[in-house]
A and B are shown apart, each in its own frame.
Chain A
Amino acid sequence: MDENVKTAEREVTLERLREIDDDLRLPAVPEQVSYPIETLIPEARTQTPAVGQRASRPDGRLHGLGQTKYIDDLSFPGMIHAKIKRAGISKARVKNIDVSEAEKMPGVMATLVGSEIPVNSFGPSYQDQPVMVNGTVFHAGDPVAAVAATTEQLALDALDKIKIDYEPLEAVYDPIEAMKDNAPQVHEGESNIYSSKVIQKGDVEQGFEASHRIYENTFSTQMVEHVPMEPHASIADWDGNGRVTLHSSLGRITLGRADIARTLNMPINRIRVIATVVGGNFGGKNEITTEPILALLSKKTGRPVKGVYTREDEFMSSTTRHPFIMDYKTGMSKDGKILARKVRLVCDGGAYCSWSETTLGKACILSAGPYNIENLYVEAYAVYTNKTMTGAMRGFGAPQVCFAYESQMDDMAHDLGIDPLDIRRMNAFHEGSASPTGQVLESVVVRDSLEMAAERFGWQDWNK
C-alpha cells in the first residue's frame, strides 16, 4: 500500500489530500511544453510488461483437451431439436404451406411458419430481411418452415412431409442486369439499387487528357462463404415467466438482442443472450439467423430448443462475401505517375442489404488504393439479386478493390516498362497525403513497408 495513504489515515487535511492527488496525476502534456517530453511518454515497450512477451491463450488448454463447450456441446433437460425447411427456389410466391402431415409424425412437437413471427423483419441498415418467408421467397436459402422434434433425425424426416405450393416468379441473378430499368424487382420498389455513393476529387477528364496512356480494365470477384468450422447454432429456452434465454454462437450479442426483441415484439429486458466460445466467425455470425424461430418453438412446446445448421444450411442461407464488378480507367504519365482514375463499383448484395452499405462505403474510399491521385471519380452501387445474401466478412469491401487496383497496377507497370515496385513507390501515399475523401494521413509507412518487404523476400534477385 502507498505510504502516503497509510499515514494520511488520521492526520489528513484537505491540503495534504490535494498534494497526494497532485503526486498521482500525470502533468498535462500540451500545457507544459518546457517539461522534458521523454519523461511524459513512456517507452512503448515499458508501458506494460506484456509487450514483447510470449503469452499462451487463456482458452488454449481447454481447446486442446477437447473440453471447450460450443453450443452444440451443451444440452438441457427435456431439450428438443429444430430443423429448417429451405425454399430451394430463388423467387416465388408461396401459395400454401401444409404442415399437417409433419405435425402428425410421432416425436414432432411443433412446427412454425412465417405468419407466426410477430415482426417478420430485421437487418442492421434496412430491415429488409424476413426471419421466415411470409408470402414471397427472395432467395433459395430462405427459411419457409421449421420443425421441432425429440431428435434431430426426426426433425429432418419431418421436413420432407411439409408440402409447399410455389408460384415461381421471375428472378434476377446478374447485378448488371438487375440495375436495368426493366429488370425484375427483387423487392417491391422502383429499383434494385438500394445504395449508391460517389467520390469526386479534381477533374478526372482533364487528367485523362494530360495522360500519356489510358488503361481500361474490368475486374470481378466471386461470392465467398466464411465456412466457419462450427456451423451456426443456438439454444432457446422460453420460461414460464415469459423470459427467453438464448445460448447462441452470435458474435454481436447486443445487436442480436435488439433484433430478437424487435422480431419477437418483446421488451428487450425479457431477452437474455448468452454467448459462448464461437467456433469461427469471420463476420458470418454477426447477425441473428434462427434465434427468433427457436424462441417461438420453445414458447410453443415449453422445452429448450436447440437449432444447429447443417453444412448445407450454412452454404445456402448464411451470409457471404460480396461479389464485386469493378471497372477501372486509369490515366498514366510516361514515367509512371497516376494522373487520373475513374472507378465504377457494382456490389452484388444478394437478396438482403445486411452490411452492404457499410461494405460499399469502405470499398469506395479504398478503391483508389494507397496512391496519390489528384483527379479521381468513384461511383458505386449496391444491388439486390435473388441470390444468397451477402454480409460482413473480413475486410468489408477492401479485399475486392485491392485485387482490382493492384492487378491493374501490375499490368500498367509491365506495359510502361517500369519495375512494379518502383511504380508503387512513385505513387504511394507519403506523410501528409490526403485520402480520396480528404483525410490528411499521419504515420504513413507504406513506402517503408514496401521496401522492407522487397528486401526481405529478395525482390531484386527474384525480378531478374
Chain B
Amino acid sequence: MDVKLTINGEEKSASVPPETTLLRLLREEFNLTGAKIGCDVGDCGACTVIVDGIATNSCLMLAGQVQGRSIETIEGLANMDDYHPLQKNFEDLGSLQCGFCGPGIILSAKQLLDDNPDPNKEEIQDALAGNLCRCTGYTKIVEAVADAAREMRGNREAA
C-alpha cells in the first residue's frame, strides 16, 4: 500500500503492508523513533504525534488513514540551532526521568499551547490526561508546561 503524507513540513511517501500503524510507519520507514511503543493499544500515550493539529495516539491509526495528512513529530520541534520552549523548560526543570513518555507528553502539551496560550493548571492536567508517566508524579511536567506557556506569551508580546 502506498502512502503519501507530510511529516514535519516535508512531503514523504512509503510503501507498507496494510496492517502498518502510523507509529510503525514513522519508526520503521522514516526512522523517527521519538514516538515510542509503550502499550500499542492506545492506553499510555507514549506514541503521541500531532495529526492535522490534533494530538493523536499513532498506534491506533493505520498508515492508510493518514493519506495526504500532515504529521508533526517530536523531531520536528527542534533544529540544529534552536529548540521549542517546551523542550527547554522540560530540560531546565528536570521534568523527565527515564524520558520514555517525554516526546508524547511534549506533543500533547504543544497542541494545548497551540490552541490555548494561557492554560491554567487544570487545563494542563486535562490535556496530559492521555499520557502516562511512571517516574515523575507529573508535578514538574505540569510546571514546565506552565513555564513554557509563560515564556511563549512573553516572546509573542516582545515581537
Do residues A229 and B44 form an inter-chain contact, with CB atoms below 8 A? yes
A227, B77: Cα distance in complex, Å? 28
CB of A374 closer than 8 Å to a CB of B:
no
Given the complex, which residues of B lie within 8 Å of A65, measured CB to CB?
34, 74-75, 77-78, 83, 87
Quick one: closest A residue to B74, CB to CB?
A: A66
A311, B83: Cα distance in complex, Å? 32
Quick one: closest B residue to A314, CB to CB?
A: B39
Do residues B134 and A66 form an inter-chain contact, with CB atoms below 8 A? no
Which stretch in A30-38, A260-268, A278-286, A343-351 binds the other chain?
Answer: A278-286
| Count of chain A to chain B residue pairs whose CB atoms are closer than 8 Å in the complex | 102
Given the complex, which residues of A lie within 8 Å of B77, measured CB to CB?
65
Which stretch in A68-76, A114-122, A175-183 binds the other chain?
Answer: A68-76
Do residues A60 and B39 form an inter-chain contact, with CB atoms below 8 A? no
Given the complex, which residues of A lie within 8 Å of B75, measured CB to CB?
65-66
Do residues A279 and B36 form an inter-chain contact, with CB atoms below 8 A? yes
Do residues A277 and B38 form an inter-chain contact, with CB atoms below 8 A? no
Do residues A229 and B33 form an inter-chain contact, with CB atoms below 8 A? no
Q: Among A55, A66, A282, A310, which residue has its beta carbon within 8 angstroms of that of B102? A: A66
Given the complex, which residues of A lie within 8 Å of B91, measured CB to CB?
56-57, 60-61, 63-64
Given the complex, which residues of B lie within 8 Å of A282, measured CB to CB?
134
CB of B61 closer than 8 Å to a CB of A:
no
Do residues A69 and B134 form an inter-chain contact, with CB atoms below 8 A? no
Quick one: closest B residue to A278, CB to CB?
A: B98
A144, B32: Cα distance in complex, Å? 34
Do residues A70 and B100 form an inter-chain contact, with CB atoms below 8 A? yes
Q: Taking A70-B36, A229-B36, A229-B46 as contacts, is the C-beta distance between A279 and B98 under 8 angstroms? A: yes
CB of A230 closer than 8 Å to a CB of B:
yes
Quick one: closest A residue to B99, CB to CB?
A: A63
Do residues B133 and A64 form an inter-chain contact, with CB atoms below 8 A? no
Do residues B94 and A56 form an inter-chain contact, with CB atoms below 8 A? yes
Do residues A153 and B102 form an inter-chain contact, with CB atoms below 8 A? no
In the complex, chain A residues 304-319 whose Cβ is within 8 Å of any chain B Cβ: 308, 310-311
Given the complex, which residues of B lie within 8 Å of A68, measured CB to CB?
99
What interface size band does chain B fall in? 35 or more
Name the distance in Å between A428's Cβ and chain B's nearest Cβ.
27
Do residues A60 and B17 form an inter-chain contact, with CB atoms below 8 A? no
Given the complex, which residues of B lie within 8 Å of A62, measured CB to CB?
99
Q: Taking A65-B78, A66-B102, A279-B36 as contacts, is the C-beta distance between A229 and B96 under 8 angstroms? A: no
Q: Among B19, B33, B98, B132, which residue has its beta carbon within 8 angstroms of that of A277? A: B98
Q: Taking A66-B73, A311-B41 as contacts, is the C-beta distance between A229 and B87 under 8 angstroms? A: no
Q: How many residues of A contact B (CB 8 A)?
A: 33
A450, B134: Cα distance in complex, Å? 28
Name the distance in Å between A171's Cβ and chain B's nearest Cβ.
28
Given the complex, which residues of B lie within 8 Å of A229, measured CB to CB?
36, 38, 44, 46, 98, 100-101, 132-134
A60, B141: Cα distance in complex, Å? 12
A433, B58: Cα distance in complex, Å? 57
A16, B98: Cα distance in complex, Å? 52
Do residues A280 and B134 form an inter-chain contact, with CB atoms below 8 A? yes
A442, B70: Cα distance in complex, Å? 63
Name the distance in Å between B46's Cβ and chain A's nearest Cβ.
6
CB of A9 closer than 8 Å to a CB of B:
no
A65, B34: Cα distance in complex, Å? 8
A102, B38: Cα distance in complex, Å? 27
In terms of DSSP, what is the predominant structure of the interface of chain B? loop
A66, B19: Cα distance in complex, Å? 25
Hey, what's the 0/1 contact readout for B71-112 against A, CB within 8 Å counting as 1?
001110110000100111011101111111111001000000
Do residues B100 and A311 form an inter-chain contact, with CB atoms below 8 A? no
Given the complex, which residues of A lie within 8 Å of B92, measured CB to CB?
56
Do residues B135 and A280 form an inter-chain contact, with CB atoms below 8 A? yes
CB of B118 closer than 8 Å to a CB of A:
no
A230, B135: Cα distance in complex, Å? 12
Given the complex, which residues of B lie within 8 Å of A310, measured CB to CB?
40
A280, B99: Cα distance in complex, Å? 8
Name the distance in Å between A362's Cβ and chain B's nearest Cβ.
23
CB of B22 closer than 8 Å to a CB of A:
no
Name the distance in Å between B113's Cβ and chain A's nearest Cβ.
15
Q: Taking A153-B17, A279-B98, A282-B134 as contacts, is the C-beta distance between A231 and B38 under 8 angstroms? A: yes
A409, B90: Cα distance in complex, Å? 41
A55, B92: Cα distance in complex, Å? 8
Name the distance in Å between B146's Cβ and chain A's nearest Cβ.
16
A55, B88: Cα distance in complex, Å? 14
Do residues B99 and A277 form an inter-chain contact, with CB atoms below 8 A? yes
Given the complex, which residues of B lie within 8 Å of A308, measured CB to CB?
37
Name the distance in Å between B64's Cβ and chain A's nearest Cβ.
16
Name the distance in Å between B76's Cβ and chain A's nearest Cβ.
10
Hey, what's the 0/1 contact readout for A276-302 against B, CB within 8 Å counting as 1?
011111100000000000000000000
Given the complex, which residues of A lie within 8 Å of B41, measured CB to CB?
311
Quick one: closest A residue to B44, CB to CB?
A: A229
Do residues B40 and A279 form an inter-chain contact, with CB atoms below 8 A? no
Given A230-B36, A277-B98, 8 more contacts at CB 8 Å? A60-B90, A60-B95, A64-B90, A66-B106, A67-B34, A70-B100, A73-B33, A311-B39
Q: List chain B positions with a Cβ less than 8 A from chain A.
A: 17, 19, 27, 33-41, 43-44, 46, 73-75, 77-78, 83, 86-88, 90-92, 94-103, 106, 132-135
